């Protein structure tokens, strides 16, 4: 009965995608609240320099975490494919391979984050008055890497089988916990920026534990048993072949964003604080984009596993339309509300001006970002992660970095830096559309699946 409820291969397409995407939307909303709480509390109670320290770590955090999150996407594709085909044996094996691999990745990320922090932050040109707090925040954050990686692995498993509701519940609990701990450590105990990172770690361990408890208690093929943890080489290869391009894509984009951050740093702490505040608000604007892109990856994977190609086409069209329309509506609202929203983080006029300039350069172009992300999600769901990796590597990294390198020398301003985003979103949208129309991705997938089964 539970299997039928979570399967996305039966029932009205619009209803299945929408009801799967809504919990993803709410979950991402609370995830963004989770991340924004640090900046709001730090900015209001510790000042703009402390806010700049937290903001300067964001790109680096995503650089390291993004790679392993990409690997969890690859695992989700493999699990969803087996689940849609009702291959219970390989669902079980792929789940335990994924969890074991996640544990190893979490341990590796802990050491990378702690030891690389000073070098990377200096390389980004972090100002000396901000650097000590940035290093402290970064190192404490990555001390909890195992929780971050496993949480994303567990959520990926649940979402791959069509369960997006329970991850939402667990995320709400951990988000509330994080905010309360931020207030306790910073407002009551008067601790510094490291306390914000520590609160995040505790909250993340809580959400990971709740997900694991759920996975160990279900009676479905995706149940996790500690005794069955191990690596299946064949399935690990599939996970890596699907996840490595997504992981590299995340890291490549992050490298470009680290380059962008280093250019923002050159404009001083006010620019760092203002643009960092906008990036937190921007996360809310991206919610319609990410939830439909994630929903499409799972929907495409399950339905291609079941070889329901017409259903795949209808789902792709519906998901793209919803995401593009919602993203643009949010972008228009943020364009007009940005000065007021930035002031919630910090009331210094220069900080508000910098954040508003950044926002008003990009928010009206959110529809392009939504289109690119949805098509990337569709290709990942079809097992063709290499396409979004190459498109985003060229458009969002090589071209973006090249543009900024040249343009900032000609016109050194924050607006020049942030123009890189709509320009590269436009290019990626054009290339993705060509690939979508010209690539016979569905039936190639079906032939591969038939040959390997």
**Block residue for tokens 């209803």:** 15
Residue 156 is encoded by which pair of tokens? 């990926």
Q: Which of 68, 109, 65, 432 is nearest to 239 (CA)?
A: 68
pLDDT, tens digit, for every residue of 259-306? 888 899 889 888 988 998 898 888 888 888 888 998 999 999 889 888
* Mean predicted confidence (pLDDT) in 28-56: 75
pLDDT, tens digit, for every residue of 416-437? 999 999 999 999 999 999 999 8
What average pLDDT is seen over the chain? 87
pLDDT, tens digit, for every residue of 166-182? 988 998 898 889 889 98
N-to-C CA span, the chain: 26
Per-position DSSP letters for 136-198, written without gaps between them: HHHHHHHHTHHHHHHHHHHHHHHHHTT--HHHHHHHHHHHHHHHHHHIIIIIIS---HHHHHH
CA distances, 114 to each of 110, 119, 340 (Å): 6, 10, 36
pLDDT band at 7 (very low <50, low <70, confident <90, very high): confident
**Block residue for tokens 């990036």:** 279
Q: How many CA atoms lie within 13 A of 227 on its CB side?
A: 0
Cα(118)–Cα(126) distance, integer angstroms: 10
Query: What's the predicted TM-score (pTM) here?
Result: 0.78
- Give the pLDDT score at 66: 76
- Give the pLDDT score at 95: 95
In the predicted model, is pLDDT for residue 142 greater than 70? yes
* Mean predicted confidence (pLDDT) in 358-365: 96
Q: How many CA atoms lie within 13 A of 56 on its CB side?
A: 38
Cα(131)–Cα(241) distance, integer angstroms: 38
Separate counts of helices (H) and strands (E) for the chain? 19, 0
pLDDT band at 453 (very low <50, low <70, confident <90, very high): very low
Cα(125)–Cα(267) distance, integer angstroms: 11
Crossing angle of helices 193-217 and 131-143, in 10° steps, is: 20
pLDDT band at 132 (very low <50, low <70, confident <90, very high): confident
């Amino acid at each position: 009965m539970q299997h039928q409820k979570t399967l996305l291969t039966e029932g009205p397409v619009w209803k299945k995608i929408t009801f799967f995407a809504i919990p993803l939307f709410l979950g991402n909303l609370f995830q963004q609240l989770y991340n924004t709480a640090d900046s709001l509390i730090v900015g209001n109670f510790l000042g703009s320099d402390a806010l700049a320290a937290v903001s300067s770590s964001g790109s680096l955090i995503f650089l390291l975490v993004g790679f392993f999150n990409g690997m969890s996407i690859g695992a989700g594709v493999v699990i969803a494919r087996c689940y849609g085909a009702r291959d219970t044996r390989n669902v079980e094996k792929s789940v335990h391979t994924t969890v074991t691999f996640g544990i190893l990745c979490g341990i590796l990320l802990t050491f990378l984050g702690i030891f690389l922090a000073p070098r990377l932050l200096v390389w980004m040109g972090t100002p000396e008055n901000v650097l000590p707090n940035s290093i402290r925040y970064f190192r404490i954050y990555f001390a909890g890497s195992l929780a971050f990686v496993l949480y994303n692995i567990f959520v990926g498993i649940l979402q791959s089988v069509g369960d997006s509701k329970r991850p939402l519940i667990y995320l709400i609990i951990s988000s509330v916990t994080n905010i309360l701990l931020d207030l306790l450590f910073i407002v009551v105990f008067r601790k510094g920026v490291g306390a914000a990172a520590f609160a995040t770690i505790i909250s993340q361990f809580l959400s990971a534990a709740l997900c694991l408890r759920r996975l160990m208690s279900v009676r479905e093929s995706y149940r996790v048993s500690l005794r069955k943890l191990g690596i299946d080489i064949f399935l690990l290869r599939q996970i890596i072949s699907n996840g490595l391009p997504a992981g590299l894509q995340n890291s490549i984009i992050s490298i470009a964003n680290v380059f962008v951050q280093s250019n923002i740093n050159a404009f001083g702490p006010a620019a760092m604080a203002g643009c960092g505040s906008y990036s937190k608000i921007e996360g809310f604007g991206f919610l319609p984009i990410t939830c439909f892109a994630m929903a499409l990856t799972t929907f495409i994977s399950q339905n291609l596993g079941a070889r329901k190609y017409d259903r795949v086409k209808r789902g792709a069209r519906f998901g793209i339309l919803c995401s593009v329309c919602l993203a643009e509506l949010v972008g228009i609202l943020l364009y007009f509300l940005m000065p007021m929203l930035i002031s919630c983080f910090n009331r210094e006029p220069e900080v508000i001006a910098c954040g508003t300039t950044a926002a008003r350069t990009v928010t009206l172009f959110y529809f392009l970002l939504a289109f690119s992300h949805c098509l990337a999600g569709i290709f990942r769901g079809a097992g063709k992660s290499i396409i979004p990796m190459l498109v985003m590597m060229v458009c969002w990294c090589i071209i973006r970095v090249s543009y900024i390198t040249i343009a900032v020398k000609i016109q050194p301003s924050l607006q020049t830096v942030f123009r890189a985003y709509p320009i590269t979103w436009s290019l990626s949208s054009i290339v993705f559309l060509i690939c979508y129309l010209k690539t016979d991705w569905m039936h190639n997938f079906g032939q591969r699946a038939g040959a390997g089964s």
